[in-house]
Structure 1
Amino acid sequence: MVNDSYGFHLEAPRCRDRLTNTPVMLLPGLEERSVYVGDIPEVHDNLSEIRRIFQKHEECFPKEGEMSRTLNADMLEAPASFHLKPGSKFPRAYNKKYSPGQITTLCEYRDQMVKAGKMRRSSSPASCNPLLIQKKDNSYRVCVNFIPVNKLIAPMAWPLPDPITEIYKLQGCEFLSFWDCKDGYLQSPIAEDSRFLTAVAFPDGLYEYNVLPMGLIDSMQWYTRHMGEVFSTIKERLGNFVDDMATGDGTFHLHFRTVEEVLARMDMFNGSFSGKKSAFFVKQREFLGRIVGDSRISADPKKLFKMEYWPVPQNVTELRGFVGFALFLCDFISNFSAMAAPLFPLYKLHKDPNAFVEKWMSDPKYMKAFRDIQVALVTAPVLIMMDHKRPVIISADTSDFATGHVVAHCL
């Protein structure tokens, strides 16, 4: 039980955040929308005010089973549009057989999208085939193979934000909120004259998207552009990469106003957040693959656990997967380029798996490099966030096979 400022007793079911296992509680009055807030003293003291602003903008959080709203095209500079390369010939979906269970899945997906206003019947000269990806529980996820259409579209040059730069916007913030945009691209409207390019051949007819689908070229760029417009007034305080966002402030009352502004902007543009994937008024959480909080940044323990038990690569594809995963967290490793240098020449052996194994077994330096990277990541330090107001020292080093640098604060 939590007392609010008016003397009422509010039931606040407590639980653990699904990402960081930190204490959170379900916001009273918004249980159906799965809105979670931090289980901290400042939240308890201001619970009624927090509940007020979330109830005012509760339509931003669809209920379980509901789809997201679609951004108001009239509020945006332009809906998503696509330009064809000269001489393009429209692809046509090939006839494909489906099992009765697959047909049911496809029809249910189509009906859900049509009901939500995300799709409509189409007379497009182009069409693509749906893809059914089997999940662990043997159910299917519906995707679309847009590769034939993507080859016809001239790519958009809209720049994407740098994830690390977005994370460092949270420097010096004690109170944080993390926002997940429900259904991602499916919130962004498509221009009327571009919708025919999204046509999908279902077993019983042709349907096209009214919104951006996953897999279509430039969907990420257009969605990033639209989110930038929605939150243009607070972009300096908002870390945003595609459909993941984070806001932070040094005091609770400043953060309260920021949260209220984010909700108001999203509501004004008719957008939606996922309540169960978001968390508000917390001290730390996972954001873009890092654990962020208290002006510090550390590697996600789940990713470090995966790295610790990574199997020894048996071919170039597996080696690329390991190195690529390590590169994602290489900012936590001193001398990473020197550690990984012995592994890169093995990329040349991608055509002959046997040659890769023979080369790997012939010299212990490859296994040593593999293990050194594992150990370095598992024992990775916690880094502080860059404070651009303080003086820094930059140390750089280069050699014939490795280049690196360290940025440190002057204490």
Structure 2
Amino acid sequence: MAEGNDTGSSGPSFRSNVAVSKLIGTCPTVTVSLGGVELECLLDTGSMVTTITESFFASNFKEKLNSCHWLELHAANGVDIPYVGYLEADVEVLGKVVLGRCVLVVRDPPNHLPQPKVPGILGMNVIRECYNELFQQHGPSLFELPFVTGDASPWFNAFQHCQRAQVEGDSPKIGMVRVRGRRPVCIPAGTVKIVPTTCPQGRFGPLESGLFEPLTSMRSIPAGVVIAPAMVAVHRGTAYIPVLNVGTTDAVLHPRIPVGMLSPADIVSLPEGVTEVVGSPNEQVRATISSQMVIESTQPSPLDGLDLSALPPNEQDKVRCLLRQYSSVFSTSEGDLGCTNLISHEIPLLDNAPVRQRFRRIPPSEYEAVKAHIRQLLDSQVIRESSSPYASPIVIVKKKDGTIRLCVDYRQLNSRTRRDAFPLPRIEESLDALSGAKWFSTIDLASGYNQVPVAEHDRMKTAFCTPFGLFEFNRMPFGLCNAPSTFQRLMERMFGSQHCQSLLLYLDDVVVYSSSIDDHLERLGAVLSRLQQEGLKVKLSKCEFFKKEVKYLGHVISADGVSTDPDKITAVAGWPRPNTTTELRSFLGFASYYRRFVKGFAKMAGPLHQLIAEVQRAQGRSKRQFLAASWTGDCEKSFNDLKATLVSAPVLAYANFSLPFILEIDASFNGLGAVLSQEHEGKVRPIAYASRGLRPTERNMSNYSSMKLEFLALKWAMTEKFRDYLLGQRCTVWTDNNPLSHLETAKLGATEQRWAAQLASFDFTIRYRSGRTNGNADALSRWPASETLEQCLPGTAVPPVLQRPVPPNSVLQVTQAAISAFPSHSAEELMALQQADEVLGTFLTFWRNQRRPDRTDRANLSPQVLELCRQWDRLQEMNGVLYRHTQRSDGGEDLYQLLLPACLKEEVLQQLHHGHGHQGLER
């Protein structure tokens, strides 16, 4: 745009206003509404695009700009016009609304240059659509309307330009022809299929026939599909196009994809010998195709080799069609990477002093491999040459296949980087979302980090030095401390609304899940579409589609539940005994990752944890020597039991929040235990185990009775450990403490009243059963664990009583009948066990000889044997078994107590506990 300036001294006549008006004319401007915002625009039929200035966009719109880096914008003189993105909005012109027009947002000129008089330019992408709308409504009389022919209206010339472009253009094409319908059209290999398409209307009404010409660029058409020019009949906007599949696999055309252009044409006469054939829309013709007919040989697609054996044959075709539609999402080679513009990685430092280190020596035998790897990264634009003041050394790591991986040691840079606290998902919470899922697909991005750009101002900080020069990363490298947070943030922006609803996200691992095949097709298509939209690529060889069982983060997930990954666990079977605390910690760390599959994990691993604590306290001796000397039989048993249990770990159930829960609780003076379960399809399956030790104040029997401890276990399990499961859900609580089952009518102290208030928001019913049938929670409560060993372990076993339906109102009653606490052993077995016992065996040598020990003998006897000697007169032998004669305090019948061998004490105590309502230790 030119502007006159006639200030200054008087000049020749051409400086007069008349002369200026002959040189410079006014530009036609119109008022339009863009997304509800009115603005003045220059009406420019010479512009292919519509634009607004960046300052106008910033002050009137809050939408996020879309990017289109593939579009280059040039002025008439060839100068590049910078722009920041585009806005998609409706444009209202002359009372007509043009839907969904893309408006480019161009940068404002520098302050020292003339600023535009109006903030926008209305280009042909809007003018032509407005003309088409008005011409369809008014026809040729459009040019007689007042708002077009008025003296001040700039529209007359603009619409005349549109008419000339259509009538006198190089091609009389009417518009695009697209596949009709809402479902994909599958074309089997080696066949011709008649495909229905939608055709645009002509300027002067609907067409009856036209010349169809396929697009020259067939990006939307699958490989092997041939569409030839044809004369087609058009009926109510529909034409049938013959489509040939010369490939060896089925091909799919998706709804609304463009396949060609339609031009107006009339059939004057058919050549001699040619007869018109009208095919039905579903007609399919088997064709024999010779190799000479195929111009381009088609390579087999990697998608053809996918294992979809879990699906019926007809469903396999649908899946392959879907994957072919998004074939551009799949990486074709190691260097074929995408790049998103949704996020960029930044490296905020605590100070500005550059990190600079020397490169490390590389074996000469690896020179060529390193050079080739760097060339590949350069060709893929992952790195570029650098002149940065920063320099970090590289480390060469060999993969299993013999190739190398180039890693950069960013430890010094990371130590000076401000950390990003963006959270990663909790695996346990993610797995809980899989309830009801039957179909799974896993998607793994191809070098996911390398598809995220590094912010331009931070790229110099990623520089790394090699013997061959200094380079820096354009894309986010591995090894940066904030890289996981950036990548997780990217995935949350893309799929956050679907996380734990239709898919699971953990960095570059994506699992799509559903309960039906149709839902899975829809969800998988949505994920692939979003990946394509954001420019990301997937490594097909690491993906699995439509599986009933997949591996995810060291687990195997299926419709049955979650279990350990056999590939990870088999390595445990041959794990050698640790020689250092580092090795021991490594083993325990690995085992702890799978603790949710091991009932009683803390008890099983207790000796190993205790050993680590003892080693840390060791002084004056090397820790390696102390570990070897302190490795006891209990440690060896713990180590071997953990390995054996992990190898045979069971499958855990998913929580189903449409079903009620079952909570088993138990408490002892060693700790608290709880098991959360549900009944799935008539079978009770465990979901989670929990246990913790008692705090010092809780171990005080004067403060905590057995009932109060059981109440504590209920409060802890329900309000702390399993709160997320049980809040708002129906739950049945099973306890072996009968007084707790009458909680509603019990007299409570101040502490118990506070606990009851916390439980008031939960919907639960307490039921009683004896300890014999409450073995799951009871075993957890007996762990000799300190309060620091509090654990939450999903469980495995289910008590037999839970596998039978229990009437909802049934309460088991405690009887006063005597219950035998002694296991069934014959007199001969008991006699042998007493003789083999250390204490009883020593005493029996005197008893059988009917000789009481003298003073010399007593000096060498243990206190336990001496106590038996003091009770000599109360002892009696029956059938070779030694008993103690006692009298009941209530005057009842005399009793004979078996002198119990030490090996039977634990068994008898368990029987007493199970049969007598969970008595405390003292009783």
* TM-score over 0.5 (shorter chain): yes
2:438 is matched by which residue type in structure 1? E
How far apart are residue 371 of structure 1 and its match?
Answer: 1.4
Q: Is 1:262 matched up with 2:527? A: yes
- Structure 1 residue matching 2:570: 3-state secondary structure: helix
Distance of 2:348 and 2:593 partners within structure 1: 33
Cα distance between partner residues in 1 of 2:518 and 2:479: 41
Superposed CA deviations along residues 205-240 of structure 1, whole A, max 9, x for unmatched, are: 211111111111111110111111122342231111
Q: Does 1:403 find its partner at 2:790?
A: yes
The aligned counterpart of 2:861 is none
CA separation in 1, counterparts of 2:401 and 2:331? 25
Give, as a single letter, the amino acid of the residue that structure 1 aligns with 2:460. F
After TM superposition, the structure 1 stretch with the greater mean CA deviation from structure 2, 348-357 or 248-257, is 348-357
The equivalent of 1:352 in structure 2 is 623
Q: What is aligned with 1:371?
A: 640
Report the counterpart of residue 56 of structure 1 in structure 2: 325
Q: Alpha-carbon deviations, 1:104-132, whole Å to 9, x = none?
A: 22221221111111111212111101111
Residues 36 and 275 in structure 1, CA contact (< 8 A), matched pair in contact too: no
Note closer, same or farther for the CA distance 1:382–1:243 as it changes in structure 2 (3 Å cut): same
Equivalent of 1:279, from 527, 531, 544?
544
Is 1:323 aligned to 2:588, yes or no?
A: yes
Residues 48-74 of structure 1, C-alpha deviations (whole Å, 9 max, x = no match): 332222122111111134332111x1x
- Aligned partner of 2:568 among 303, 307, 315: 303
* Structure 2 gap segments, 5+ residues each: 1-184, 191-247, 251-297, 617-621, 664-673, 675-689, 694-784, 806-923
User: Do residues 234 (structure 1) and 498 (structure 2) align?
Assistant: yes
The aligned counterpart of 2:310 is: 40
Q: TM-score, normalised by structure 1?
A: 0.86
1:202: how far off? 2.3
Cα distance 1:234–1:136, how it changes in 2: closer, same or farther (>3 A)?
A: closer
Match of 1:384 among 653, 672, 676: 653
Give the structure 2 partner of residue 19 of structure 1: none
Cα separation, 2, equivalents of 1:191 and 1:319 = 42
Question: In 2 relative to 1, CA 30–220 (structure 1 residues): closer, same or farther, beyond 3 Å?
Answer: farther
> Equivalent of 1:160, from 414, 417, 424?
424
Match of 1:15 in 2: none
Structure with the bigger RCO (C-alpha within 8 Å, sep 6+) is 1
User: In the superposition, relative to structure 1, how do residues 133 and 333 fare at CA in structure 2: closer, same or farther (>3 Å)?
Assistant: same
Distance in 2 between residues matched to 1:95 and 1:183, nearest whole Å: 25
Structure 2 counterpart of 1:108: 372
Distance 1:307 1:165, change over 3 A: same
- Rounded Cα–Cα distance in structure 1 between residues aligned with 2:440 and 2:401: 35
Report what 2:391 is aligned to: 127
Instruction: Assess, with a 3 A threshold, how the Cα gap between structure 1 residues 167 and 31 changes in structure 2: closer, same or farther.
Output: farther
Alignment of 1:31 onto 2:325:
no
- What is the CA–CA distance in structure 1 between the aligned matches of 2:793 and 2:582, rounded to whole Å? 30
SS at match of 1:325: helix
Structure 2 residue identity aligned to 1:225: R
Separation of aligned partners in 2, 1:388 and 1:178:
25
| Deviation (angstroms), 1:82 | 1.6
Q: CA deviation at 1:139?
A: 4.5
**One-letter amino acid of the structure 1 residue matched with residue 349 of structure 2:** L
Alignment of 1:59-78 (within 5 A): 59-71=328-340, 73=341, 76=342, 78=343
What is the alpha-carbon distance in structure 2 between the residues aligned to residue 230 and residue 270 of structure 1? 12
Offset of residue 336 of structure 1? 0.5
Q: 1:274 to 1:39 in 2, by over 3 A?
A: same
3-state SS of the aligned residue for 1:141? strand
1:222 matched to 2:486: yes
**Greater CA drift, 395-404 or 296-305:** 395-404
Classify the secondary structure of the residue corresponding to 1:46: helix
Aligned-partner Cα distance in 2 for 1:167–1:67: 32
Give the match's secondary structure for 2:540. coil
Aligned-partner Cα distance in 2 for 1:397–1:93: 50
Q: Is the 8 Å Cα contact of residues 445 and 539 (structure 2) preserved in structure 1?
A: yes
**Pair 212,5 (structure 1): closer, same or farther in 2 beyond 3 Å:** closer
Evaluate the alpha carbon distance shift between residue 153 and residue 292 of structure 1 in structure 2; reply closer, same or farther with a 3 A threshold: same
Amino acid at match of 1:230: M
Q: 1:305 to 1:358 in 2, by over 3 A?
A: same
- In the aligned structure 2, how far is the partner of 1:313 from the partner of 1:95? 35
* Structure 1 contact 134–140 (Cα < 8 Å) conserved: yes
TM-score, length-scaled by structure 2: 0.40
1:148 partnered with 2:148: no
In structure 2, do the counterparts of structure 1 residues 219 and 35 end up closer, same or farther at CA, with 3 Å as the change threshold?
Answer: farther
Following superposition, the deviation at residue 171 of structure 1 comes to 2.1
Letter in 2 for 1:335: G
Aligned mates of 2:401, 2:513 — CA distance in 1? 38
Based on CA coordinates, which of the two structures has the bigger radius of gyration?
A: 2
1:8, CA displacement in angstroms? Answer: 4.2
Gap regions ≥5 residues in structure 1 = 13-27
Pair 1:33–1:298, CA change in 2 (3 A):
same
CA distance in 2, matches of 1:233, 1:136: 38
Segment of structure 1 superposing worse, 262-271 or 306-315: 306-315
Counterpart residue type for residue 403 of structure 1: E
Amino acid at match of 1:102: E
SS of the equivalent of 1:231 reads: helix
Alignment map for 1:177-192 (pairs within 5 Å):
177-192=441-456
Could you tell me how far 1:317 is from its partner in structure 2?
Answer: 1.6
- Rounded Cα–Cα distance in structure 2 between residues aligned with 1:249 and 1:260: 13
Tell me how far apart the structure 2 counterparts of residues 110 and 181 of structure 1 sit (CA, whole Å).
21
CA contact (8 A) 1:170 1:247 kept: no
Offset, 1:95: 4.4
* Structure 2: distance between partners of 1:82 and 1:95: 22
The letter of the residue matching 2:473 is: Y
Superposition deviation, residue 96 in structure 1: 3.6
Between stretches 227-236 and 171-180, larger displacement belongs to: 227-236
Which residue identity does 1:398 align to in structure 2? R
